[in-house]
Chains A and B, each alone.
Chain A
Amino acid sequence: MLAIDRLHSNQGGMAPTMDTSTEKVMDLHAAVSRFVPDGAHLSIGGFTCNRNPMAAVYELIRQKKTGLHLYAHSNGQGVDELVGSGCVARIEIAYAGTGRFAPTCIRFRKAVESRAVAVEDYSNYQMTLRFLAGAMGVPFMPTRSALGTDIIRRWGFSEQERRSDPRLPDEKLVVMDNPFGAWAETERVVLVPAIRPDVTLLHVQKAGRDGTARIEGLTFADVEQAKAASHVIVTCEELMDAGELRSQPHLNQIPGIIVDAVVHAPHGAYPTACYRYYDYDPAFLNDYLPVLRLRPGLPERLPHRSHGR
């Protein structure tokens, strides 16, 4: 067997598919149980206290998913709920925090300190490039970011773990001399490996029944994260007629053909913000720490709001 064939046969996860149907609407339970098996490689969109796909996150928790391999750049509340609920085995991330509300995600911190999750650190731009590489179908992207730092030198996942797991690249990253000499005034680059999630979860403002999706405001790396994944679940504030979104295609970022499931989930980013719909909820986010302290057994989630919409 050629190495390349072995690699393909060992990829694991669900085979990428392209869904051209015009009717992808389903409920959250169906979408999550169909596209997110235990152990899935999962990426979640949003940024710290903004547009985290919380409705989908809470559904993962309700379905008691385990062994997830989670990818994010700077994520806050979504990461913390998933990690704190015991859904996550490994996490590759640049920043786990919720801005002023939790400069370091509370349950993430506890899980890393007690080694309940394995963590691999990158920078935000490195993670963005990794999603972009996945979206482009190339194995890596180059950057100068973090040369000379411990992000390059220290690995969270061991070399042995990486080599024995076909879902992980053999190296965390690779530093190499610029193969184009000194072109672009650059002597050296670090190559960061593509991320190829089984599934990406996004919460957006508007989506059509065919999967066409519109993000209003900051897009973060959501578009790259969606395009890198084998499957995409989009939750939305407003479920629209696809024709209405297609009448202004310059405002859409996500083409329907890369989306597998559309879920109508108003307030689906709550307690994080969703621009033009609602702000983050400072009362909830400020209560999060004291509530966790009162219940040291780590609640599955904050019970009073996570089911309600």
Chain B
Amino acid sequence: MPDYNARELMAVAAARKINDGEIVFCGTGISMLAAMAAKHISAPNSIIIFETGAIDSQLEEIPMAVGDPRVMYGASSNTGLADSFALMQNRTTGRHVVGILGAAQIDKFGNLNSTVVGDYAHPKVRFSGSGGAADVASFVDRTIIFMQHERRKFVSKVDYLTSPGWLDGPAGRRRAGLTGSGPSAVISNLAVMGFDADSREMFLEAYFPGTTPQAVLDHMEFSVDLSRARELEPPTAAELKILREIVDPQRLILGG
């Protein structure tokens, strides 16, 4: 048995995707782990920002929400929503932002639903709604998406399109009037998915140790290209040590 859990692997897989010098837009939960881990592992010069207004936060302790006052720790400046979202689309800083998002449903073009399951007017399940997700997905050049890998979550068509991915294909965003690029990766509890440079459709980039490409497909409503798949390198001892001892020693997000 490997001595790490799925959340640890997800956080490490996401941290590896963050490039040094990037500005990381953080949501609530595992994306904070990834952003903090990246700063300590692969991207020491990355910058963490929050829609609530903390810019270049040092994050001493894991915040329980983006509204948690802990996001302000060691920040370069403290503002509000208007300033923070401006920074995400401003021509100087906007192009360096990588957004980390999550959702209830995702389709093959990386469009996200965090609003309802069922019809919008008569929802079967109501979720929180966009928050800043639609803003980030609209503005920034790159997004990384965290998902639980289940058939009802990787769907042929999202019940409500809250946050734009590649919309209906390579020209979708441009046609809609969106600048910037769409999602670059999906990190689930089973796999890392990429998006094809030409078709902008999701493909299997890597599957987690202990699973198989077919097992990943079995957890999806739509099918994806498996030909480029490889097994993901497990987290190293050094990565796990940082995650457990520096990033989330209380295991608030890493879990038991």
Contact = CB atoms under 8 A, between A and B. Distances in A.
Contacts of A50: 52, 65, 67-69
A98 B67 CA distance: 9
Contacts of A98: 65
A131 B73 CA distance: 27
B162 A151 contact: yes
Given A100-B65, A188-B176, A220-B52, A124 B128 contact: no
Given A95-B128, A156-B120, A148 B81 contact: no
Contacts of B130: 94-95, 121-124, 146, 151
A218 B252 CA distance: 23
B85 A128 contact: yes
A275 B177 contact: no
A194 interface: no
B91 to A, nearest CB: 8
Given A95-B128, A123-B131, A149-B134, A144 B179 contact: yes
Contacts of B52: 47, 50, 218, 220
Contact of A99 (B67, B121, B132, B175): B67
A132 interface: yes
A100 B132 contact: no
Given A113-B124, A221-B82, A94 B179 contact: no
A232 B3 CA distance: 55
Q: Which of A185, A187, A218 has the most CB of B within 10 A?
A: A218
A283 to B, nearest CB: 13
A125 B127 contact: no
Contacts of A154: 120, 160
A217 B179 contact: no
B177 A188 contact: yes
A309 B142 CA distance: 46
Contacts of A223: 80
Interface string B62-86: 0111111101100000111110010
A150 B162 contact: yes
B82 to A, nearest CB: 5
Contacts of B29: 100
B249 to A, nearest CB: 17
B45 to A, nearest CB: 25
Nearest to B175: A148
A126 B132 CA distance: 9
A142 to B, nearest CB: 11
Given A96-B128, A128-B85, A218-B53, A146 B138 contact: yes
B72 A148 contact: no
Contacts of A99: 28, 63-68
A306 interface: no
B164 A146 contact: yes
B123 interface: yes
A167 B160 CA distance: 27
Contacts of B81: 73, 124-125, 128, 220-221
Q: Which of B53, B175, B178 has the most CB of A within 10 A?
A: B178
Contacts of A48: 65-67
A189 interface: yes
Interface in B34-70: 51-54, 63-69
B89 interface: yes
A138 interface: no
A224 interface: yes
Interface of A: 46-50, 73-74, 76, 93-101, 103-105, 108-109, 112-113, 115, 121-126, 128-129, 132, 144-151, 154, 156, 175, 185-189, 217-224, 273, 275, 279-280, 282
5 smallest CB-CB distances across A and B, nearest first, come from A99-B65, A188-B177, A148-B176, A95-B131, A47-B67
20 contacts: A47-B67, A49-B67, A50-B52, A50-B65, A76-B65, A96-B128, A99-B68, A100-B28, A101-B64, A121-B130, A129-B82, A144-B138, A145-B135, A146-B138, A147-B164, A188-B177, A220-B52, A221-B81, A223-B80, A224-B80
